[in-house]
């Protein structure tokens, strides 16, 4: 091969290489896609993002509750439906060599998870009822934007209301129990959502205990007057009342439950005894028994 022929071959080869490179660049340019997705999307609102280029490509979307793989035509917008973007969280979208991440955030409050404790509380006690409310949107995503939550406690027409603002999706309140016993309706509400719980308010410890004693055929019968707490609520049946008789022979103790508001106990017969009564930390009156006098 002459030198001129060699030069011609090299020239043609170079031109072919440049041509091939240009074709590749054109192909890449035609297929190139830019993914312009917003940083955040509201749950259940769907998403449409344009693509550039031509031909088809595989779209991947990974996110909470979602894993999508489908063919899309470049140049046509990518559509992600409201159903595909229901769950709050981080999504990764991939199309050819382009990737983007975005977040789906919760929508408006639609439901509440409400924890009310305890289910039974003594009446007229401060800060004894607690309510904790978690706020969710219609897709059960935790709503992290601050939201007002109203806590309302209602017993026999007496209502206590407090409004708290959620922080990190949760609000809580501590409320006093009311003076009167009875079933309290404890309601937490935010926007259209409202949840009700029942808290049973019962009489607290007895305020005072007064008893009388009489002799009967089996010994000494000790009986209390109706027992109330300091707000006038009858102490619930079943509460233990302890009667104690002390004489020369020793001490006799009888634990009795309140029945229909009063408690009574049969104590051994004695001619000279000191009889006392108590319930919990509350002591009642003391009687010196002198053989029935």
The tokens of 70 are what? 């489908």
Nearest CB to other proteins, comparing residues 162 and 228: 162
Nearest CB to other proteins, comparing residues 188 and 213: 188
Nearest CB to other proteins, comparing residues 94 and 246: 94
Cβ proximity of 185 and 151 under 8 Å: no
Per CB under 8 A, 117 contacts other proteins: yes
Helices (H), the chain: 3-31
Q: CA–CA separation, 220 vs 292, rounded Å?
A: 9
Query: Cβ–Cβ contacts within 10 Å for residue 137, how many?
Result: 22
Q: CA–CA separation, 14 vs 7, rounded Å?
A: 10
Q: Given the rule CB under 8 A, which of 90-98, 195-203, 229-237, 266-274 is the region that contacts other proteins? A: 90-98
Per CB under 8 A, 54 contacts other proteins: no
Per CB under 8 A, 132 contacts other proteins: yes
Per CB under 8 A, 62 contacts other proteins: yes
The tokens of 168 are what? 């990190």
Q: Closest separation between CB of residue 25 and other proteins, Å?
A: 25
Q: What's 160's DSSP letter?
A: E
Q: CA–CA separation, 178 vs 124, rounded Å?
A: 5
Phi, psi of 12 (to 5 degrees): -65, -45
Residues 168-227 contacting other proteins, CB under 8 A: 168-170, 172, 174
**Which of 8, 11, 21, 40 forms a contact with other proteins (CB under 8 A)?**
40
Q: CA–CA separation, 258 vs 243, rounded Å?
A: 12
**Which of 31, 52, 72, 89 forms a contact with other proteins (CB under 8 A)?**
89
Q: Closest separation between CB of residue 119 and other proteins, Å?
A: 11
Cβ proximity of 182 and 156 under 8 Å: yes
Per CB under 8 A, 231 contacts other proteins: no
Per CB under 8 A, 87 contacts other proteins: yes
**Which of 55, 65, 232, 280 forms a contact with other proteins (CB under 8 A)?**
65
Nearest CB to other proteins, comparing residues 36 and 156: 36
Nearest CB to other proteins, comparing residues 115 and 287: 115
Residue whose C-alpha is closest to residue 199's, from 151, 167, 240: 151
| Three-state secondary structure call for residue 84 | helix
Residues near other proteins, by CB under 8 A: 39-40, 58, 60, 62-69, 87-90, 92, 94, 99, 103, 105, 115, 117-118, 130, 132, 134, 136, 140-142, 144, 167-170, 172, 174
């Amino acid at each position: 091969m002459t030198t001129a022929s060699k030069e011609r071959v090299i020239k043609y080869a170079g031109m072919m290489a440049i041509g091939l490179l240009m074709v590749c660049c054109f192909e890449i340019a035609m297929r190139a896609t830019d993914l312009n997705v917003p940083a955040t999307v509201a749950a259940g609102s769907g998403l449409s993002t344009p693509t550039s280029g031509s031909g088809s490509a595989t779209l991947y979307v990974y996110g909470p509750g979602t894993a999508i793989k489908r063919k899309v035509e470049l140049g046509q917008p990518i559509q992600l439906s409201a159903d595909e973007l229901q769950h709050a969280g981080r999504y990764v979208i991939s199309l050819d060599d382009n990737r983007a991440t975005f977040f789906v955030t919760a929508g408006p409050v639609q439901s509440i998870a409400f924890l009310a404790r305890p289910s039974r509380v003594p009446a007229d006690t401060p800060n004894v009822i607690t309510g904790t409310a978690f706020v969710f949107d219609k897709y059960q995503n935790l709503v992290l934007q601050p939201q007002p939550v109203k806590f309302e406690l209602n017993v026999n027409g007496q209502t206590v209301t407090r409004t708290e603002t959620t922080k990190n999706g949760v609000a809580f309140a501590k409320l006093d129990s009311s003076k009167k016993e009875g079933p309290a309706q404890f309601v937490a509400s935010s926007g259209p959502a409202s949840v009700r719980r029942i808290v049973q308010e019962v009489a607290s410890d007895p305020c005072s205990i007064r008893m009388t004693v009489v002799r009967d055929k089996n010994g000494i019968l000790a009986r209390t007057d109706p027992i109330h707490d300091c707000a006038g609520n009858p102490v619930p049946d079943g509460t233990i009342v302890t009667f104690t008789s002390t004489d020369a022979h020793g001490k006799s103790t009888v634990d009795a439950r309140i029945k229909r508001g009063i408690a009574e106990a049969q104590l051994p017969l004695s001619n000279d005894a000191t009889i006392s009564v108590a319930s919990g930390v509350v002591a009642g009156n003391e009687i010196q028994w002198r053989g029935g006098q």
